[in-house]
Amino acid sequence: MCANIFYFLFPLPARIGFVTQEDVLFPQLTVEETLVFSALLRLPSNMSKQQKYAKVDTTIKELGLERCRHTKIAGGYLKGISGGERKRTCIGYEILVDPSLLLLDEPTSGLDSSSANKLLLTLQGLAKAGRTIITTIHQPSSRIFHMFDKLLLISEGYPVYYGKAKETMEYFSSLRFTPQIPMNPAEFLLDLATGQVNDISVPTDIFQDQESSDPSKIVIEYLQLKYKSLLEPKEKEENHRVASTPEQLQLAIQVKMEWSSSWLDQFVILSRRTYRARRKDYFDKLRLVQALGIALLLGLLWWKSSTNTEAGLRDQVGLAFYICIFWTSSCIFAAVYVFPFEKYYLIKESKADMYRLSVYYACSTLCDMVATLFYPTFFMLILYFMAGFKRAVASFFLTLLTILLIAITSQGAGEMFGAAIMSVKRAGTAASLILMLFLLTGGYYVQHIPKFMRWLKYLSFMYYGFRLLLKVQYSGEQLYDCGSNGGCRPLQSSPTFDIVNLKGGLKEVWILLAMALIFRLLAYLCLRVRIGRKN
């Protein structure tokens, strides 16, 4: 647990690698894609692209990942690589940059004994190749225990043994602590560290003249005392002999001060990765079927509607407002979960100085924006002519651009809420409340809002989007209701447009563009605060 806290609070130096207990990898990418993007972003700029690919290939072979190199990481309910392969991929992710020091937090957690043994053999090979590896192990088997070079045993925050792993049993036997039954050395040591000596013979004299009645506490205090008197002096003497820090360790603790690639290079690489990681969401069959189904349903309900009567006009205006609601809600909820879902990936990669935060945000919002524009376009191509809107090329494209502008603004609002809250559950709740507020103040359900609540509508982009949609679709001079007793009347005189002047529209366009920009700027600033980055 301490290792996780260290990792998330402090940026790691460039020459130190850290593998967390939980595997933080994009499930949509393959093993090879994961390592390739890591290499392109982290390896120095003086290496060519061919050299970086060769480095990835060497790492895959070194970790025994050739069989699954083209398999997706997946996880959870998605079929992908095994737990051991996933852990080795995490290790490969870190050793690509040739760290002098590699830290691992319980790498065998959740693995069966065979996979854990294979993983430790891999780490042992890496250590023999010249790397320093420090790891915490959860309940190691006896085979794994005998792979260790050095061992640090801690009880209640204080060391009780530090030295060669193969000499531990001999040391504790010299203190008259021996197992009474055949026992895994690791289990024996863990029992001593917790003071549980039921199956361990202990020197009886340590319980004499002791005020405490708790035998486990007496055992722990005795072991701590023996460490201070027997092992600690030897350790200090050895440290005095090595006065200067080795050159490779000095390199390991130097903090990285420069980026390995330029802003534009990072943008190109990260754009490719963002697209590959999210393409399943971008080209989701369910979203396509939803857009098609809703468009057909609305087209049939409003089949060739007209504005010849007051009732027909009200129906068509109601359709316009529903279109605003549909794409506002769809785009907000598609964007609000992006940053909360990717929070752990972003924290890990940002602390490792893989890329600038500004690059990540630009790639994320631009890739999502391109996908966001596809579905409303497909939707309007079906609905527009079925519903009987104004049959003019200019009107169609202006209506489409208005819907796309609403979608882009909604996406920016969703990103802002997601970045500000960074919690899947709370971000969705906040988005629902804000959406309800925007819907009620959008100018259709309640047109005459009380003065003390009127300011709310000026914060609602649905209010401006709905007004702009009415202005591009209808003209104030257009005649309607010619079959009534009073004869033809201009649309502007309709009660439906009492508070909307159908002239103009540029004001709403500029306001929506400004909102889209401000939402994204605020989203980026919230990300900086949440992630703790300044670039």
Asked whether residue 247 carries a pLDDT value surpassing 80, the answer given is no
Q: What pLDDT score was predicted for residue 400?
A: 93
> According to the model, what pLDDT value does residue 418 have?
92
Q: How confident is the model at residue 513 (pLDDT cuts 50, 70, 90)?
A: very high
Q: Residues with Cβ < 8 Å from 113, sequence gap 6 or more? A: 141
Q: How confident is the model at residue 209 (pLDDT cuts 50, 70, 90)?
A: low
The HSE-up count of residue 43 (CA atoms within 13 Å, CB side) is 22
Q: What is the pLDDT of residue 480?
A: 63
What is the mean predicted confidence (pLDDT) over 72-76? Answer: 80
- Confidence class of residue 517 from pLDDT cuts 50, 70 and 90? very high
Kindly report, residue by residue over 124-166, the tens digit of the pLDDT.
888 888 788 888 887 788 888 888 888 988 888 889 999 888 8
**Nearest to 107, CA basis, from 83, 81, 143:** 83
Task: Kindly report, residue by residue over 431-486, the tens digit of the pLDDT.
Answer: 888 888 878 877 677 767 777 777 777 888 888 888 898 888 887 677 666 666 66
Which whole number is the average pLDDT over 31-35?
Answer: 92
- The pLDDT score that the predictor gives to residue 363 is 93
- All structural domains of the chain, each given as residue ranges with its CATH number in brackets, are 1-236 (3.40.50.300), 285-532 (no CATH)
Q: Name the residue with higher pLDDT: 210 or 518.
A: 518
Say if residue 409 is exposed, middle or buried (CB neighbours under 10 Å; 0-12, 13-18, 19+): buried
| pLDDT above 50 (res 355) | yes
Residues 6+ apart with CB under 8 A from 52: 36, 39, 40, 43
**Interstrand relation of 178-179 and 200-201 (parallel, antiparallel or unpaired):** antiparallel
Residue 260 clears pLDDT 90, i.e. is over it: no
What mean pLDDT comes out for the span 99-103?
A: 85
Whether pLDDT at 238 is above 90: no
Average pLDDT of the chain, as a whole number? 83
Give the span between the Cα atoms of 153 and 162, in whole angstroms.
Answer: 6
DSSP structural state of residue 72: B
Confidence of residue 403 (pLDDT cuts 50, 70, 90): very high
Higher pLDDT, 287 or 457: 287
* Nearest CA among 489, 443, 495, 433 for reference residue 464: 443
pLDDT of residue 11: 46
Query: Which residues are 159's β-sheet partners?
Result: 154
Whether residue 500 has pLDDT greater than 90: no
Residue 4 has what pLDDT?
34
Supply the pLDDT for residue 292: 92
Q: What six digits make up the tokens of 180? A: 């009474």
Give CA–CA dist 45/471, Å, rounded. 53
Q: How many residues in the chain? A: 535
The pLDDT score that the predictor gives to residue 9 is 35
Over residues 272-287, mean pLDDT: 87
User: Taking Cα atoms as reference points, which of 296, 344, 242, 338 lies closest to residue 25?
Assistant: 344
List, for residues 303-339, the tens digit of each pLDDT value. Answer: 887 777 777 788 888 888 899 999 999 999 989 999 9
Report the percent of the chain where pLDDT is more than 70.
88
Distance of CA 20 to the CA centre of its chain: 15
Is a pLDDT exceeding 50 seen at residue 22? yes
Q: Which residue has the higher pLDDT, 245 or 135?
A: 135
Q: Residue 76's pLDDT is what?
A: 67
pLDDT at 401: 94
Quote the pLDDT of residue 10: 41
